Structure 1
Amino acid sequence: MSETSIETALAGGELALPSPGPSPKSHPKSPASFPAQRWQIFPAQKSQADHIAAVTALSPLLAQVLINRGIYTPEQSWEFLDPETIQLPSPLCEFPDLEKSLELLEQAITLEEKILICGDYDADGMTSTALLMRSLRYLGAQVAYAIPSRMHEGYGINQRMVEDFHAAGGNLILTVDNGITAYAPISRAKELGLTIILTDHHDLPEQLPPADAILNPKLIRESSPYRGVAGVGVAYVLAVCLAQRLNKQQDLTATLLALFTLGTIADLAPLTGVNRRWVKRGLKLLPKSLIPGVQALIEVAGLSKETALRPEAIGFRLGPRINAVGRIADPQIVIDLLTTDDVGVALQQAMQCEEANLLRREMCQIIEKQAIEWCDAQIESGLINLQKERVLVVVQPDWHHGVIGIVASRLVERYGVPVFIGTYEDENKKEIRGSARSIPEFNVFEALTFCDDLMNKYGGHQAAGGFSFRSNKLRQVKSRLSNFARKHLQPDHLKPLIKVDVHAPLEEVTLDLYQQLDQIHPCGIKNPDPVFWTAAVTIVEQKVIGKNSDHLKLTMAHKASDDAQKVVMKAIAWRWAEYYPLPRILDIAYKLRLNEWKGHRTVELDLVGVRPSKPAPQTKAGIHPWSGSQGEAKIATPSPYPNKNIQLIDSSPSADLAKEQPADSSDLSLVAEQSHLRAQTQLANYSSECYSVLESVARLDIEFYHSKRLYKGTLETNDDEKQLTIENGEGHLLVVQMSQQKGFLYLSAETPQAVDVAELPYSNLIRAGLSALEIKQKTHLLAKYEELLAKKDGQIDAMKAQIELLKEKIAQLSSKQQS
């Protein structure tokens, strides 16, 4: 990005800014203050990272990033870097109702039946609608679309839409990005004799609607590469499979891929599985898209000179312009934009998207300022205690429904707690409608489900959701959400989480490293942009910039060692003006950005976190997967079972000798034998203690750390025999038959080796694995117990409500008798 475009963005121009830091308060904090953050730094695995770097030609820094993403072997690395090499299963084998959906659509096209696409007003819903409109028209269908009013009807298919379509002689309804919770409207459609194909990707309710076919990735196996598709991904699979069935896929797939890419990134779908493969392909095709509306949108967003797009270009430039229309204008603008073949119409609609986005931005700024002022006043007066309530519920009149979700995200960044923000539906303030945004440890959909009896309507997923309820239930909703939050959040969770990948001296942050990031891309949900950190960086210069003086621009210097040359780099910290001036020496966490100016390209830092300076991590070679005494340096390992009354044997061969000081070799043999027997006994005792918790488990999978290495463990029960399998990052397996205390080591394709599980490297690893399994099972049982308590709380609340109702009726009867 050029200096000019950065300054345009800072002046409130085109770029929708990322949001790593809090929004500024009206009164800045005292100097040298810090953002309230918690850093989670992935453990360095240098030897494994060096191995992956050697076979992939990546920087060891990015090899460590791959390890952090769960990619441990060269084979996994090659598949991640080139997803086109992966053999995908047919979606017909993955989605149970896909074949039936294709039959119903083929029949409707053949019989010239009327098809109605019921879409949604967010980017995912609108791109899904446009994608199916384009494909079904191309395939000869009689198709129309309908999207509910955000202001007057809210999310998803409703009974009015069903009734209108039936009255118009319609035959088949196809929902996109909605419908999975719409039991009543779908039931009504079936009563009227309509055929329903429901496509959605949101979390499943307890009772599924009675549709003829349901396509939802939440209904397929968790390991499926299609599991993470958004609504537009389901629509893409359906459209491409239908075109292939009718032998008309030529020239269609590439066109639809542009819409898939727009919707997937704008909806923040995970960029793993088929999403990564198709988005990586789609980002290259977007600048050359044959859809006039896509070209017009790229033009007004200032991206027309780009030969390939990055996900942030969609997330911060194209996506907001689409979403803005759905939030505050008529979604028909976007549908027309993405379905027209008229260049003039497309440019006109794109300009309307631009105007809507400018208005949306102004509305967000106003509402965000009002919300922060209200929250700060409530906190300062003691009316809100976030440490106690652990959730923030904000309801104010005259806020626009379409933008409060964005404001909710800003409040989460600022206060570090889940936020439920709402406004009144009507002048009489009888109905509240709102949006929720969350932190990683809090599930929004589960929280709303916990309030099921208080809600008129709700939906969503882990990180976000929407809801509506009667305003006279506001106090109960606040109380219920707070109860849920206290059960699931610890006080330490109430700080924004910064996940940090790897330590990097600034001398290693080069243009070559930035260019290698292209191999990691596309980045997004579940494959976030790498976050580096550098210790003890000196701030040479810092100043407040931006139209509203919201941001910090900094110059930073760093020396990796006393003998190294000082490296100086520029940095930007979005919406951190309130922390000006930052202390002179800091640890910094950052992403990389490219600055282009007059043909000169330099790497700059995009700050996401700072903290008081701590010593830089020491580089270690690490340990081999099943390291024993073959010359490896021993690393002291804390006990994985602190509450167990077991004495760990030092892994150093000389530890027991130092204690016993035997006189001759026979004594040495006796000590070794006693040590071995003691290890066997302790392992057997600990295994039996774990079995009391793990007895009823047929299969349990976990990931755990031991000696600073990540392992995967599986405990399986077959015919009363428990088998523990532990896998390290290199794919080596340790298989233990627990009742017989037998172990076998599998190294690549070699013949399995029998090992003595009582030997310290193995016994300590096995106990660490069993401890992790025990903790996971206890956590699962505790969650079930909390779920039962939650149900009891719900029953108590219902009884209290009934008692209040009875009291009101008694009072009414009493007053009637007196009169």
Structure 2
Amino acid sequence: MSARRQRWEIRPPAPADVRERLGLPPLLATLLYQRGLLDPAAASAFLAADYATGLHDPFHMRGMAEAAARIAAAIDRGELMAVYGDFDVDGVTAVALLTQAIGAMGGRIRPYIPHRAREGYGLNNVAIGQLAADGVRLLITVDCGISNYAEVVEANRLGIDVIVTDHHHPPAELPPALAVVNPKQPDCAYPFKGLVGVGIAFKLIQALARYGKRPANLRGRDMLDLVALGTVADMGPLLDENRVLVRAGLIALNETARPGVRALMAAAGLAPGLIDSGAIAFALAPRLNAAGRLADARRAYELLLAGDRETADGLAAELNATNRERQALTRQLQARAEELVAQSGRAEQPLIVLASPEFNAGVIGLVAARIAETYHRPVVVIEQGGETSRGSARSIPGFSIIDIFDQCADLFVRYGGHAAAAGFTIATAQIPALEQRLLTLSRQYLRDDQLAPRLMIDAVLPLTELSWELYAGIQQLEPFGQGNPQPILMAPNVTAIDPQPTSDGAHLRMRVRAGNSVFEAIGFHFGRLAEALQRYPTIDLAYQLAVDEWNGQRRMRLLVRDFRRAGGARNGG
């Protein structure tokens, strides 16, 4: 059994004929083969991720022509518009993107981002009423709205036209908007379904350009820093068009002139030029998300569009402090969730539902994700209120939580999401009924093998074979993320040298050696196992490659994903 109690499965290498056809080094050919890229043209297109040729026509998206025409008319007529988004990074970047771009096209547009605690997710009638009173005549949603049928009806009643742009799972009955732009809706011919909210907002800007509405002093590529932030933060699959947008967006992000983004980098201890998808996921996005989780997401919006560095530095420092608060609260509530699991025996159930007034709606999604990782089960965590409660769910590979929620629709006040993650509002009295139905459905649809944690290893690669040339080959697959994960490699029979926990006891630092090859290694959340490694230092190591740069010096190091006593089964076990 491995340190993480996972079964290791080694993916098959590329067959000889595929390697020969691709004409690439063996490891790179294998990694492309595992991604289904079997011919030179497909592999070349994937590796190039070319912005000039890799984007799809926005007008292939159902509803796009109607949406762009209506916005162009509103610009021409000087109508007041509002863009209404979610309070996460995807929603905030999409609001910032459309507000900036349509404003630069000469449009009159204002942002609206609801407060998580006071208003909740999606459109609400109080906000719609206020926007109508302020004279708004066109409302554009981003990253929300697809499930807001009643609220769109109310907006129409008040004389507001609504354009819904969203990427979440569409319900059976779409809202009666002037246009619905969502590649996942029925009869949408758009060839890529994985765009997130900010990606769809960017396609809307492209469509407006075809109507002659080009933002003054703002190129399309100047906005891709926001697209990269939102797409990576929302775990959009980094394939097809997302891969093209994020690769170009990372270039824009590293060269950005936005005072707010540069201040955010500085607050996270990052330097322009060194930002990759991992830096977004683990450093920039959490700070932006913290505002919407515990405070007001509008502060993140204000940071992204800050006009000067002094203002930006103040906002970045504020988000940094909020993020530290978010980290502490998440740790506290994760510990409480684990107590509830242990006390209730729910670890033996195929799906875990936890409800408590102690939970905070701002972090229940994070808590659910960590409990799901620990127990390898779908998890629902609910902040239990007096009359209504809010919940967040995280799933496991191969099990769509939103499909299960569709079969519980009668129990929710509202819900939405996608296969891996979803959220809802529910009457508190309905929580027991929800848990029982979810358990019944999970027993029906979840297979035992799905509940057995597995670590998929891309290739066996001894430490003695590591080189800068090999590292450069792997980096051609960047950007890594959802749908295109960073490769996990396995080195057999390595020796752990001086394994020690970090000062807080949480993580593991050591060197690992095979023959004359020695590398620094760090294992996050493995600190408790340092003593065991001191007693049994010969291990098989599952790892990923990383690089440290300091004073112009580059050093390869290993990120520990798992380990086991040396000599385990070579394919599984």
Which residue of the other structure, out of 510, 516, 521, is the alignment partner of 1:571? 521
- Code of the residue aligned with 2:364 in structure 1: it is I
Distance 2:458 2:172 in 1: 38
User: Within the alignment, does 1:103 sit opposite 2:63 as a pair?
Assistant: no
- 1:278 — aligned with what? 245
C-alpha offsets along residues 678-730 of structure 1, whole Å, 9 cap, x if unaligned? xxxxxxxxxxxxxxxxxxxxxxxxxxxxxxxxxxxxxxxxxxxxxxxxxxxxx
Structure 2 residue aligned with 1:295? 262
Which whole-Å deviations, capped at 9, do the CAs of 1:112-157 have from their partners, x for residues lacking one? 1110111110000000000011011101111112122211221111
Q: Which amino acid aligns with 1:77?
A: A
Unpaired segments ≥5 residues, structure 1: 1-31, 559-564, 619-819
Distance of aligned partners of 1:598 and 1:287 in 2 relative to their CA distance in 1, 3 Å threshold: closer
Distance (Å, rounded) in 2 between the aligned partners of 1:599 and 1:170: 53
- 1:400 maps to amino acid: N
What SS does structure 2 have at the residue aligned with 1:498? Answer: strand
Q: Secondary structure at the match of 2:249?
A: helix
Q: Indicate which of 397, 404, 419 corresponds to 2:379.
A: 419
Contact 1:417 1:495 in 2 (8 A): no
Distance 2:279 2:338 in 1: 29
Alignment map for 1:202-601 (pairs within 5 Å): 202-219=168-185, 224-249=190-215, 251-304=218-271, 306-379=272-345, 384=346, 386-387=347-348, 389-425=349-385, 429-547=386-504, 549-558=505-514, 565-580=515-530, 581-582=532-533, 583-597=536-550, 599-601=552-554
Q: Report Cα offsets for 1:208-247 as digits up to 9, x if no partner.
A: 0000011112137798554211000000111232134225
CA distance in 2, matches of 1:410, 1:361: 13
Task: Measure the CA separation in 2 of the matches of 1:539 and 1:270.
Answer: 35
CA contact (8 A) 2:221 2:248 kept: no
* Residue number among 26, 34, 39 corresponding to 2:3 in the alignment: 34
Q: Are 2:2 and 2:564, in contact at CA under 8 Å, matched by a contact in 1?
A: no
Q: Secondary structure at the match of 2:78?
A: coil
CA deviation map 1:386-416 (0-9, x unaligned): 34x2011111223221011111111111111
Cα distance change of structure 1 residues 503 and 33 upon mapping to structure 2, 3 Å threshold: closer
**Cα distance change on mapping 1:165 and 1:537 into 2, 3 Å:** same
Partner of 1:607: 560
- C-alpha displacement at 1:311, in angstroms? 0.3
The verdict on how the C-alpha distance between 1:612 and 1:224 changes in structure 2, with shifts beyond 3 A counting, is farther
Q: Note closer, same or farther for the CA distance 1:280–1:574 as it changes in structure 2 (3 Å cut).
A: same
Post-superposition offset of 1:492:
2.9
DSSP-derived class of the 1:84 partner:
coil
Instruction: Give the 3-state SS of the residue equivalent to 1:456 in structure 2.
Output: strand
C-alpha displacement of 1:617: 5.9
Instruction: State the Cα deviation string for residues 765-791 of structure 1 (Å, max 9, x = none).
Output: xxxxxxxxxxxxxxxxxxxxxxxxxxx
Residues 52 and 63, structure 1, Cα contact 8 Å, conserved in 2: no
TM alignment of 1:662-701, pairs within 5 A: none
User: If the length of structure 1 is used for normalisation, what is the TM-score?
Assistant: 0.66
Q: 1:591 to 1:316 in 2, by over 3 A?
A: same
Cα shift at 1:594: 1.3
Check 1:52–1:404 CA distance in 2 against 1; reply closer, same or farther (3 A cut).
farther
Superposed CA deviations along residues 748-803 of structure 1, whole A, max 9, x for unmatched, are: xxxxxxxxxxxxxxxxxxxxxxxxxxxxxxxxxxxxxxxxxxxxxxxxxxxxxxxx
For the 8 Å contact 1:200–1:215, the answer to whether it is kept is yes
Contact 2:238/2:482 (<8 A) preserved: yes
SS state at 1:395 partner: strand
User: Is the aligned partner of 1:161 residue 2:117?
Assistant: no
TM-score norm. by structure 2 comes to 0.94
- CA separation in 2, counterparts of 1:474 and 1:531? 39
Change over 3 Å in CA distance of 1:488–1:40 after alignment to 2: farther
Distance 2:296 2:193 in 1: 31
SS in structure 2 of the partner of residue 219 of structure 1: coil
Deviation at 1:575, TM superposition (A): 0.5
Query: What runs of 5+ residues in structure 2 fail to find an aligned partner?
Result: none
Is 1:140 the counterpart of 2:109? The answer is no
**1:356: how far off?**
1.1
**Letter aligned with residue 64 of structure 2:** L
Change in 2 beyond 3 A, CA 1:256/1:595: closer
CA displacement, residues 461-487 of structure 1 (integer Å, 9 cap, x when unaligned): 111111121222222111111111111
Instruction: Point out the more displaced range, 127-136 or 185-194.
Output: 185-194
Instruction: Describe the SS at the equivalent of 1:594.
Output: strand
- Whole-Å separation in 2 of the counterparts to 1:192 and 1:38: 57
Q: Look up the SS of the partner of 1:166 in the other structure.
A: helix
**For the structure 1 residues 221 and 274, does the alpha-carbon distance in structure 2 shift closer, same or farther, using more than 3 Å as the test?**
farther
Contact 1:88–1:225 (Cα < 8 Å) also in 2: no
- The Cα RMSD (Å) is 2.2
Deviations, residues 312-345 of structure 1 (Å, cap 9, x unaligned): 0111111111001111111111111122323322
**Is the Cα–Cα contact under 8 Å of residues 51 and 244 in structure 2 kept in the other structure?**
no
8 Å contact kept, 2:507–2:523 = yes
Q: Which residue identity lines up with residue 517 of structure 2 in the other structure? A: V
Shift in Å at residue 514 of structure 1? Answer: 2.0
Q: Secondary structure at the match of 2:423?
A: strand
Q: Which residue of 2 aligns with 1:15?
A: none
Q: Secondary structure at the match of 1:441?
A: coil
Could you tell me which residue of structure 2 aligns to residue 77 of structure 1?
43
Q: Match of 1:479, as an amino acid?
A: Q
Instruction: Tell me by how many angstroms 1:377 deviates.
Output: 2.9
Contact between 1:228 and 1:269, CA under 8 Å: does it hold in 2?
yes
Q: Distance in 2 between matches of 1:401 and 1:552?
A: 31
Compute the displacement of 1:40 (Å).
3.2
Alpha-carbon distance in 1 for matches of 2:398, 2:130: 42
**1:293 and 1:339 in contact (8 A); partners too:** yes
- In the alignment, which residue of structure 2 is the partner of 1:150? 116
What is the CA distance between 1:88 and its match in structure 2? 4.5
Distance 1:90 1:44 in 2: 32
Deviation at 1:445, TM superposition (A): 0.6
Once the 2 structures are TM-superposed, how far is the Cα of residue 496 of structure 1 from its aligned partner? 3.1
